[in-house]
Structure formats: C-alpha cells, structure tokens
Amino acid sequence: MKQEILVKGVSRRVVIVPTDAQSVFEEVICIVKEDAETVTADGILREAEAALLRSVEEEADPVPLFLRLLPALMAVLLLVLAGVLTWCFFFGV
C-alpha cells in the first residue's frame, strides 16, 4: 500500500492545539514559519490559539444578506415610486 506524505521537508516545527469536546475537530495542527523567532513552547501555543481565534472571528461575522441587498432594494423602491408618481402626473389620478 502506498503511504501518503502529509508534510514534506527535513525539519518542520509544528504546534498541535487541542480542542474542546464540542468541536468537530480533534486537534488543530499549525506549522510554524521557518523564520519565526524561537520562543517558549507556551508562547508558541498562545500564538497558535490566537491565530485560530482570529481566523474564526473573521469568518463568523459575515454581513447579513439583507444588508448586502439593501442598496439594490432601495434603488428598486425608488424606481417604482418614480413610476407611480409619473403615472399619476400624466393621467391625473
């Protein structure tokens, strides 16, 4: 059977961040940049957790669909209102 290689390279530093029981992930694996400063293991773990939180927060707060469509809805309403006013002006309703 052919073995798959997940991480290539001679030497890679990885940080494995455990997750809570409610998560769909068992653990998250972060690959440390080669040019990263050497710090304590606790500091690297805190940085990995902070990076994960930032990426989750960016994705968890998208703009609601209603707010994205609001300008188009306002334009349609203004066009309808202009049409109604024009109809009333020309036909005297």
Tell whether the model's pLDDT for residue 48 goes beyond 70: yes
Alpha-carbon distance 71 to 69, whole Å? 6
Domain ranges across the chain: 11-62, 63-93
Q: Residue 72 — very low, low, confident or very high, per pLDDT cuts 50/70/90?
A: very high
Structure tokens given for 81: 């209102």
Structure tokens given for 15: 């940080």
Tell whether the model's pLDDT for residue 47 goes beyond 50: yes
> What is the pTM for the complete model shown?
0.41
Alpha-carbon distance 84 to 32, whole Å? 63
Q: Helix H segments across 1-93?
A: 41-60, 65-91
Top pLDDT among 74 and 52 is at 74
Please report the pLDDT score of residue 42 as a whole number.
Answer: 77
Q: Residue 58 — very low, low, confident or very high, per pLDDT cuts 50/70/90?
A: low
Alpha-carbon distance 19 to 25, whole Å? 7
Please report the pLDDT score of residue 38 as a whole number.
Answer: 64
Please report the pLDDT score of residue 10 as a whole number.
Answer: 56
